[in-house]
């Protein structure tokens, strides 16, 4: 069973190699996604209680746009 689990797990670890090489640094870990959810959680804690679902979705969108802008600035700095 241990060998089976190892083989199953190792296959899943290398699935990112199926994508273009330029994407490997972005998708080899979930750090960006984890950071995004942490930022959203921090901002939602500041708000407290949302009056309705659209207000929560609006905050989600704004945090997403902010994180996207941060990522774009980093890429621009590398190419500029």
For the segment 69-74, the average pLDDT, to the nearest whole number, is: 72
Provide the domain count of the chain: 1
Other Cβ atoms less than 10 A from the Cβ of 59: the count is: 16
Each residue of 59-70: pLDDT tens digit? 999 999 998 888
Instruction: Please tell me whether the overall predicted TM-score, pTM, comes out greater than 0.85 for this model.
Output: no
Pure H helices in the chain: 2-13, 24-27, 31-47, 53-79
- Residue numbers of the domain that contains 55: 2-79
- The size of the chain, in residues, is 80
DSSP secondary structure letter of residue 16? G
């Amino acid at each position: 069973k241990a060998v089976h689990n190892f083989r199953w797990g190792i296959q899943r670890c290398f699935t990112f190699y199926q994508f273009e090489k330029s994407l490997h640094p972005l998708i080899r870990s979930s750090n960006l996604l984890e950071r995004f959810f942490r930022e959203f959680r921090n901002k939602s804690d500041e708000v407290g209680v949302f009056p309705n679902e659209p207000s929560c979705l609006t905050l989600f969108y704004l945090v997403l746009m902010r994180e996207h802008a941060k990522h774009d600035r980093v890429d621009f700095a590398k190419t500029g």
